[in-house]
Amino acid sequence: MIKSLRNQLVLALCVLASIVGVVQGVSSYQLSKAGMSALLDLRLEQVAVRMRSGFADSLPAIPARGSQPEGDIFIMIWKGDQATPYRSTEPSLALPREAPPGFVTTAVGGEEWRIYTLRDPSMVIQVAQRSAVRRELAQERAFNTLWPMIVLVPLVWIAVLLVVRRSLRKLNRLGAQVQEIDVSHFQHLSTSGVPIEIRPFIDSINLMFDRLAQSIESERKFISDAAHELRTPLTALQLQADNLQPLIVADNRERFRELRSGIARSGGLIAQLLRLARADAVLQADALTRVDVAAVVVNAVAEVLPIAMKRDIDIGADEMDHAFVCAVEADVGIAVRNLVGNAVRYTQDGGKVDLSVQVREDMVWIEVTDTGPGIAEELLPRVFDRFFRANTQIEGSGLGLSIVKAITNKYGGAASLRNRHDGPSGIVASIGFPSASSAS
């Protein structure tokens, strides 16, 4: 989770906001306690000043013991050299008469007291309050200052999450664009609305796309040129072999057939390389037409029908939806023929091959199901690799499925291969193209 840039930013900002909140809360708590303590001291001083201004005589001469609440302030007034207080709110409290002027914190009767002493030539006025009461009042008021921080810090966390998510939304869109790019669809990433800090990165990616597109185009051109150059000498070899056939003696006819078979395989491989180069070529929008998928499937079946009948393979259609795709008809035909050809090639004599055309979620899906031996599960991820052959016992170039994959990618479609799990062994090959309505 921490490897995510968004999570790192959210975590860092939330930790920073939490630290600031804790520091602010602690400082507010301490300042509030100090302010409350100063306020209580001011109250003691004001009471002492009032006593000096003539209010001392209003105190009872003989108060009842224990008549004051513990949280109240206590007053004691001394006059002259009298050994007992002149006035007192609690006679059982023996405040230290010799306390220095001003504030002092000392223990009286086993408790800690805060005492303010005001000395006049004629009297000594002492106002005291329990330190425990003062601490309780200060802590209660100070704790109230923490509530805003306790509420605000989670709100800041939520705000940080929303702000970071909104700030990185553009990056998420760019990531989605990058995921949609393949060898058939190279397009520059837009820098519109991208933060300045991200633009150099986007420019680098676009430059990399340009270099990659040039490299792939050079590879395509090389494959296409090489295939074209090889077709001429192979065609000449085929003609020479045809001319030599009547002159081959009986002892060499088997070797001659192997020679012709090798020439035919080489020609087939070159034809597949040319198809692969065309499949990898950049799609030209003006070449697109409205293709009847059912008609393409029927034509593909018609091409392999003689071979299927010769091997007693039952080939037919289960479900044929009326569907159209926006594509080059030759590309769709090559993809379907490769799938049907593979199914017939790998199905044993007397087997069955079923085709279907279905429209699902704005996609036209063509499925070819056979009763062949299937493919080992660990080899399925590699079936679309170029020159990969899952079964080396059956002749092939290993390019047929690669061509199918390249064609479907070029049109924004998909291709998949899976083993059957409905009873008989075999393969279900599926290709999908965006329907004509969604493609438009």
Domain ranges of the chain: 5-144, 199-279, 284-439
pLDDT band at 255 (very low <50, low <70, confident <90, very high): confident
Q: Which residue has the tokens 């001083």?
A: 45
Amino acid letter, residue 47: V
Tokens standing for 139? 């802590």
Ramachandran category for residue 141: left, alpha or beta (phi over 0 → left; psi -120 to 50 → alpha): alpha
Strands (E) across 38-154 are located at 74-79, 87-88, 102-108, 111-119, 123-130
Average pLDDT over residues 97-126: 88
Residue 94: helix, strand or coil by DSSP?
coil
Whole-number average pLDDT of the chain:
80
Average pLDDT over residues 330-350: 88
Strand partners, 416: 430
Question: What does pTM read for this prediction?
Answer: 0.51
Is 70 exceeded by the pLDDT of residue 156? yes
**Predicted confidence band at 52 (pLDDT cuts at 50, 70, 90)?**
confident
Within 10 angstroms of residue 406's Cβ, the number of other Cβ atoms is 26
Q: Which stretches of 126-198 are DSSP H helices?
A: 131-144, 147-167, 169-180
- In this predicted structure, what is the pLDDT of residue 93? 81
For residues 48 and 77, the answer to whether their CB atoms sit within 8 Å is no
DSSP label at residue 419 = E
Predicted confidence band at 250 (pLDDT cuts at 50, 70, 90)? confident
Beta bridge partners of 77: 87, 125
Strands, sheet with 352-360, edge to edge from the N-terminal-most edge strand: 314-320, 352-360, 363-370, 427-434, 414-419
Task: For residue 173, name the pLDDT band (cuts at 50, 70, 90).
Answer: confident
Percentage of the chain surpassing pLDDT 70?
Answer: 85
- Determine the straight-line distance between the first and last CA of the chain, rounded to whole angstroms: 40
Work out the number of other CB atoms within 10 angstroms of the CB of residue 79. 14
pLDDT at 108 over 70: yes
Q: Tell me the helix, strand and coil percentages in the chain, rounded to 5.
A: 55, 20, 25
Q: How sure is the predictor about 284, in pLDDT bands with cuts at 50, 70 and 90? A: low
Nearest to 408 by CA among 279, 270, 221: 279
Which helix (DSSP H) or strand (DSSP E) does residue 223 occupy?
helix 199-244
pLDDT value, residue 440 = 47
pLDDT one-digit tens code per residue, 371-396: 888 888 888 888 888 777 776 666 66
Which CATH code for domain 5-144? 3.30.450
Instruction: Classify 89 as helix, strand or coil.
Output: coil
CATH architecture of 199-279: Orthogonal Bundle (1.10)
Given this model, what pLDDT does residue 436 score? Answer: 81
pLDDT at residue 402 is higher than 50 = yes
Element (H, E) at 296: helix 293-310
List pLDDT tens digits, range 114-140. 999 998 888 888 899 888 888 888 888
- What pLDDT, in 10s, does the model give residues 64-90? 665 667 778 888 888 877 777 888 887
Mean per-residue pLDDT for 2-23? 82
How far is CA 290 from each of CA 121, 185, 199, rounded to the nearest angstrom? 115, 21, 40
Rounded Cα distance between 320 and 329, Å, is 18
User: 123-130 and 289-292 as β-strands: parallel, antiparallel, unpaired?
Assistant: unpaired
- What one-letter code names the amino acid at 368? V
pLDDT at 431 over 80: yes
- The amino acid that residue 23 corresponds to is V
DSSP codes, 385-404: STT--S-TTS---S-HHHHH
Per-residue confidence (pLDDT) for residue 273, from 0 to 100:
67
231 versus 313: the higher-pLDDT residue is 313
Contacts of 275 (CB under 8 A, 6+ apart): 334, 399, 403
* CATH dotted code for 284-439: 3.30.565.10
Contact 320, 358 (CB under 8 A): no
More confident residue, 38 or 86: 38
Report pLDDT for 122.
Answer: 81
One fold for both 199-279 and 284-439?
A: no
Structure tokens at 416: 């998949």
